[in-house]
Structure 1
Amino acid sequence: MQLEKPQRLYLVLAAFFCVNAVLAEFIGVKIFALEATLGIAPFEWNLFGQSGSLNFTAGTLLWPIVFVMTDIVNEYFGQRGVRFISWLAVGLILYGFLFAYAAIHLAPAAWWVGVNKDQGVPDLQAAFAAIFGQGLWTIWGSVIAFLIGQLVDVSVFTRIRRATGRGMVWLRATGSTAVSQLVDSFVVLYIAFVLGPQQWGYDLFFAVATLNYAYKMLAALAMIPLLYAVRRGIHWYLGHEHAERMHRDAHD
């Protein structure tokens, strides 16, 4: 079956969106030190009576790309296009975690458990379970926050698009991200760490959520050139007139 260019474009965008969302969930178990990664002195933040260095989940490397893909899909395929890939991504994330848990409970081969002992991993089964066996509170918090954030993003994006017309792409992209990630940043931590077994206090919750939100907004601003670059690539691929017609039809 021969796909038309818009169909191929949507397929590529949807695939890239989903793989980034799924990967962000799985690599998010690692917490990295931003200052040490960049080779700079630790930045000692102090918020709501809490202090520390800048530590983030590795998933933050990919979520800004998900934001850009959300806005691009919204530009050319509208709210229905974004909602479909958002639900698809949630389904794939849950599917991935289901089989990760199934793999954890497979009986390991005796020789495999200690195969990396010389590399400092005496029990590979325990390491595998620790990496892929994220707590249910964390999984549900992340999935619920992601879905709510996506639905908020598409709604805010459309409202700004109607108010500004086809211009000011940066405004609707940044504005929708600002609102959706405010929701996402607080919901995921509230479910995972306040309601969850760790029982964070509200001072710690607000401090970490605020810091994560600030990071996401800086990343979103840094992604604006990428947003424009992708739009130019789409116009080149589809042809300017076709791209403009899709853009108009998506929001009429």
Structure 2
Amino acid sequence: MIKNILNDKPTKLFMVFACFFVANALIAECIGGKLFSLEKLFGLPVHTFTLFGESGLAYTLTAGVLLWPLEFVMTDIVNEYFGPKAVRRISYIAVALISYAFIMFFVAMKVPADSWWRGSKAEGGIPDMQTAFSGIFGQGMWIILGSLTAFLVSQIVDVTVFHRIKRHTGEKHVWLRATGSTIVSQLVDSFIVLYIAFKLGNNWSYQRVLAICMVNYSYKFVVAIALTPLIYWLEHRIERYLGHATAAKMKAAAMGKEHPYEEPVTND
């Protein structure tokens, strides 16, 4: 049984995508506590601006945005070849495992720290390792709730928009359904996480939530456009790996046009 599964190319492809999808989401959540300056990253001077009446804004972003665009690329690829049920399944798995990770982070923070370990990095500028550990992994509950809710809702939005566009365009205009669905879902993701984490959790004003949302979204919008060639490259590689006939059957099945594909098992 296991040999048949591992010899099936579509199954192997799905396993790779699912593993990368879950791992990428988990890593993005773990590194999301760090903020960085986009201007400084590119060696540019930092300029502040005003939006929706909120002054002093700049392109200060969470490190998680470095990985989240890839998550939506994977969503579109899985959606294209395996359909919305597969996207929802790996999204639920990702949320479950991220939740499990945060529970384990909480347990790790609460277990008694060794006295030698707490001061082991004092010479390196970290006087208390326990405080540093808790500061990195101890994200607030509102942030965790906002992030997980935004992730799940934005995935559902991405799937819905993707398939509505594809029903009207067919196999043409890959860029439209992939980039279009990502642009819409990223806006939903940006607003929900800020609304739950900082409007509900910290009583920010709507103006501030919207201003920071648009700053973050403008970055995600540009990245979504920039990653469009990656969608085409991945589809090209998948077509070569699966073969045109199998890929076509999978795409049709993903749209619910026919029964799921059947491919003979090979020993290659």
Q: What TM-score do the two structures reach when normalised by structure 2?
A: 0.92
Instruction: Tell me how far apart the structure 2 counterparts of residues 141 and 127 of structure 1 sit (CA, whole Å).
Output: 23
1:248 aligns to 2:252 (yes or no): yes
Alignment of 1:81-92 (within 5 A): 81-92=86-97
Aligned residue type for 2:78: V
| Aligned counterpart for 1:239 among listed residues 239, 243, 254 | 243
CA RMSD of aligned residues (A): 0.9
Q: What's the % identity of the aligned pairs?
A: 52
Instruction: Tell me how far apart the structure 1 counterparts of residues 47 and 11 of structure 2 sit (CA, whole Å).
Output: 46
Q: Structure 1 runs of 4+ off > 6 angstroms?
A: none
Counterpart for residue 33 of structure 1: 37
Superposed displacement of residue 241, structure 1 = 1.7
Aligned residue type for 2:89: F
After superposition, what is the alpha-carbon deviation per residue over 1:177-198, rounded to whole angstroms, capped at 9, x for unaligned? 12211211111100000100x2
| Aligned counterpart for 1:200 among listed residues 199, 204, 212 | 204
Instruction: Tell me how far apart the structure 2 counterparts of residues 114 and 33 of structure 1 sit (CA, whole Å).
Output: 30
After superposition, what is the alpha-carbon deviation per residue over 1:81-123, rounded to whole angstroms, capped at 9, x for unaligned? 1000110110011011010101001111110001111111100
Matched residue pairs, number? 251
Secondary structure of the residue aligned to 1:247 is helix
Counterpart for residue 146 of structure 2: 141
Alignment of 1:95-244 (within 5 A): 95-196=100-201, 198-244=202-248
Q: Any unmatched runs of 5+ in structure 1?
A: none
1:12 aligns to 2:16 (yes or no): yes
Instruction: Tell me how far apart the structure 2 counterparts of residues 232 and 45 of structure 1 sit (CA, whole Å).
Output: 42
Secondary structure of the residue aligned to 1:66 is helix
Aligned residue type for 1:227: I
Superposed displacement of residue 45, structure 1 = 2.8
Secondary structure of the residue aligned to 2:27 is helix
Instruction: Tell me how far apart the structure 2 counterparts of residues 121 and 108 of structure 1 sit (CA, whole Å).
Output: 15
Alignment of 1:50-89 (within 5 A): 50-51=54-55, 52-89=57-94
Secondary structure of the residue aligned to 2:83 is helix
Please tell me whether Structure 1 or Structure 2 has the larger radius of gyration of its CA atoms.
Answer: 2
Superposed displacement of residue 9, structure 1 = 0.2
| Aligned counterpart for 1:21 among listed residues 15, 25, 28 | 25
Instruction: Tell me how far apart the structure 2 counterparts of residues 75 and 208 of structure 1 sit (CA, whole Å).
Output: 32
Instruction: Tell me how far apart the structure 1 counterparts of residues 170 and 47 of structure 2 sit (CA, whole Å).
Output: 41
Q: What TM-score do the two structures reach when normalised by structure 1?
A: 0.97
Secondary structure of the residue aligned to 1:122 is coil
Q: Any unmatched runs of 5+ in structure 2?
A: 258-268
